[in-house]
Amino acid sequence: MKRNLKMSLMALAALAAAALGGEAEARMIHRQELVEAAQTPMQAAMTLAKPGLEPKAIYFARSLQLPDQGEWRLAVNPQDVDAEPGRRVIPVTVLLNGKPHLELTANVMVQQRERVLTLARNLARGEIVGPQDLRWEERVVNHKGMTYADDPAQLIGMAVKRPVRAGAPLKSDWFDRPIAIERGERVRVTAKSGALTIRAIAVADQAGRVGDAIAVRNPESSRRYLATVIAPGAVRVEML
C-alpha cells in the first residue's frame, strides 16, 4: 500500500512538473502589448493604402499565448486596409521568428488627416466670400463620406446659405451664387432685337441670381414680363 501511495505521489509530481514545464514553455502576450506592437505596422499599412490615414485606436478582444522561443512581431497587409475613415476590422498576422504563426483581428478606429479650406472669420447668411476669407488647415476626419471643398476658386464670390463660423471646414453645398437682385428693387432692363437696343427701368417682382429668369414689371403700366438677370441690378429681355 505504501508502495502504491508512493507511486501515486510520484505520478502526481510528474504531472505537476509537466504542467509547470508546459507553462514555462509558453508566454502570455497581453492585449496592451498587442496594441503597442500593432501601432507601427498598422500605421505603415494605412499610409500605403491612403496617405493621411492613421489608427486613432486599436483594440484586441483577448490576450495571446505564444511559444516561449524566438521573437514575435505583428504584420498588417495594406490590401486589408479600407482606405476610408471609420470603425474597421483589420486582420493582423502574428510572425514568430519571421514566419506567419497565426492571424488575429483588430478592431480599429481609423481617421483621416486632410488639408481642408476653412473660414478666417465668421460669415453671416448671404455674405460673399472673398480671397482673404479662406485659409487652409489640417483637420481629422473620423467618418466615411465627409467631403469638404478643396478649390478656393469655386468659393470666392459665392454667398453662404447659412451662418458659418471661423475655422469650420467648408462644404461646397453651404454656398450658392449671391443674390444679384432683390424683390422690389428697381432694375435696368436691356432689350435687343437685331441692331435695335431698348433700355428701360423696371421693378423686380422676384429676387434672383445671375442667370435666373425673374418676373419684372413696368412701374407705369404694371405690365409684367420675364427677364434674365445678367448682373447686380440689371436684366435682359430677349425680343423676337
Asked if 121 contacts 166 with a C-beta cutoff of 8 angstroms, the reply is yes
Q: Which CATH number is correct for 114-176, 3.30.360.10, 3.40.50.300, 3.60.10.10, 3.90.1210.10?
A: 3.90.1210.10
Residue 7 pLDDT > 90? no
Average pLDDT, the chain: 86
Asked if 138 contacts 115 with a C-beta cutoff of 8 angstroms, the reply is yes
Mean pLDDT of 209-215: 92
- Distance between CA atoms of residues 81 and 209, nearest Å: 45
**What's the DSSP call for residue 8?**
H
Confidence of residue 70 (pLDDT cuts 50, 70, 90): confident
Residue 3 pLDDT > 70? no
Report pLDDT digits (tens) over 183-207: 999 999 999 887 888 999 999 999 9
Residue 163 pLDDT > 90? yes
pLDDT confidence of residue 143: 65
| Residues forming a β-bridge with 200 | 189
Question: What percentage of the chain carries pLDDT values higher than 70?
Answer: 88
Q: Which residue has the higher pLDDT, 107 or 20?
A: 107
Whole-angstrom CA distances from 74 to 44, 140, 162, 164, 206 are 12, 26, 48, 45, 66
Residue 90 pLDDT > 90? yes
pLDDT confidence of residue 193: 81
pLDDT confidence of residue 146: 65
pLDDT confidence of residue 39: 96
Domain boundaries, the chain: 27-112, 114-176, 179-238
Those residues with Cβ within 8 angstroms of residue 134's Cβ, 6 or more apart along the chain or in another chain: 117, 118, 119, 120, 152, 155, 156, 170
Mean pLDDT of 235-240: 82
Query: Among positive and negative, which fits the CA dihedral 96, 100, 106, 111?
Result: positive
Report pLDDT digits (tens) over 37-66: 999 999 999 999 999 999 999 999 999 999
Neighbours of 117 (CB within 10 A): 22
In order, the DSSP letters of 210-225 are TT-EEEEE-TTT--EE
Q: Which CATH number is correct for 179-238, 2.30.30.760, 1.25.40.10, 3.40.50.620, 2.40.160.20?
A: 2.30.30.760
